Every structure is written in C-alpha cells, then in structure tokens.
Amino acid sequence: MRFRGLTALVTGGGTGIGAAVARRLASEGANVAVMGRRREPLQALADETGCFVVQADAADSDAVRAALQEIHGKFGKVDILIANAGGHGVGPTISMTDETWSLATRLNLDTAFVCARESLPDLIAQKGAVVVVASIAGLFAGPAAAGYVTMKHACIGFGKSLARDYGRKGVRTNIVCPGWVATAMGSVSPSARTNTPRSKQVSAYPRAARSCPERPRSRPRRAERNLLPGQHDWTSSGRRTALCALRVHWQVKTGTSVRKFGLV
C-alpha cells in the first residue's frame, strides 16, 4: 500500500493506459480520481476499483477547475497528476486539415498543459509528482501522423519545462514514452497508417518485446508507478522509453549533465 493517503488524478482515465494506471494506483492504496469526457467507461472503472469519477474535458480550463474542486471536496489536495489524456492526429502534412491539426493539439498537448497548470498549486503544496504520458512518437516520427508526432514531441518539451521551473519547488516531473500498447487507439492506428496487416503485427509482438523489461502491451502501468512519490526521489525530468526490441534507458538530467542507465 505504498500510495496510501495520496490522491492521484488520472486524465484519460477511462480506458487504455489511463485505466491501467488508475487500477494499479487504487490497488496500492491511493485515492484515485479519473477524468474523461465519456462517463460510461469512467463509471465502469469506478464500479470495479472504487475510483472517483470526474467527467470533464481535460483541455477545458473551467471544467478542470471544477473537477479539482470536486476532488478537493472528496479527498483534499492532489499529490499526483498522471497527464495521460491524448488522441489522434493522423495523416500526412499535405492533406491534414486545420481542424485535424487543432484537434491533435487539443487532445494531446492542451490536456497536459491545462491539467498541469491547474494542479500546480496543489502539487507545490504537497511536493507532488507529475507524469506526462507522451509516446515513442515523441522521439521518432511514425508515418502519416504529423499532428500526433508533433504534439507528442511537444509533450516532452512541456514536461522538461515543468521539471525546470517547479523541481526546485519540490514537484517532480517525468515523461513516459510508451511504444505500441494494445489499447483501442493503439490497436487501430498502426494498421491504419501502414500496409502491415494487424494479424502480422499482433503475432510479431511477442518476438519483438521479449527483451524489453517493460513489455508495454501487457504492462502499461509499471513505468508510471516507478516515477511517483516515494519511489525514486532523485529522478526528475527523466524520460523513460518502452521501445520493443531496442535498448531501454533512463535519462536523468542533473544540471547540464545527462546520465544514462541501461535497463537491458
């Protein structure tokens, strides 16, 4: 029960990575609030785990402020923010509409920015932690996903900025860059952007992931857990990358130096 007494806000918490993180935090004693636009998956998770549902658009400042007031009334101040909400932005630049680009910005970047900004007073007071869930697409450009790739790169920069500005005030910020994870979104987008049949991707996964300790498709929650309060207090502005079949590293920035710790 390592998180007993701590309050965590998980955005995009109804499905996929967010739901898996919420389950793990709840199982280890945290007071978990899950935020999302659709009540049905949030309520299903709440029925399963006892999480507190706050239905809100994570990119809407007024809605997030109201959600935080609900959380304060239920649990008190927020100790942990998992900025996980995200979405699509697929398509190559030449055919991407303004609307698609704006949606990619709102779903992937604005959600992290708004929730972090509104949660910072709590996080500073509690000396809490932020985990920004970016993507391997924030490190390497996948095909035909200009909006998503750009915004996930921006999420990494935003996380570094948070660490720089608020680490000195006791707020620890880290960025997680998952590879392919078997979620509703992750199960559709790879095949949609390539000519590889989904059946071949699924069958290839065990071979590609066998040397990766995170096994992101089966364990989407472990990296986030290890970056939260009471885990690795020296780690801030770290970037953890779960990339199948490639070496995984911690990158821990201290001042101007970078230390790398190989995990495999």
Contacts of 199 (CB under 8 A, 6+ apart): none
Q: Amino acid letter at 36?
A: G
Distances (CA, A) of 213 to 65, 222, 240: 38, 10, 12
Do the Cβ atoms of 246 and 260 come closer than 8 Å? no
Distances (CA, A) of 37 to 40, 86, 107, 260: 9, 12, 11, 38
Residue 237: name the closest of 139, 152, 168, 142 by CA.
168
Distance, first Cα to last Cα, the chain: 28
User: Which residue in 3, 113, 148, 158 is the catalytic one?
Assistant: 148
148 given a catalytic annotation: yes
Please name the helix (run of DSSP H) or strand (run of DSSP E) that holds residue 242, with its range, or none: strand 238-242
255: how many CB neighbours lie within 10 A of its CB? 5
Q: Where are the beta strands (DSSP E) in 47-171?
A: 52-55, 80-83, 129-133
Catalytic machinery residues: 148
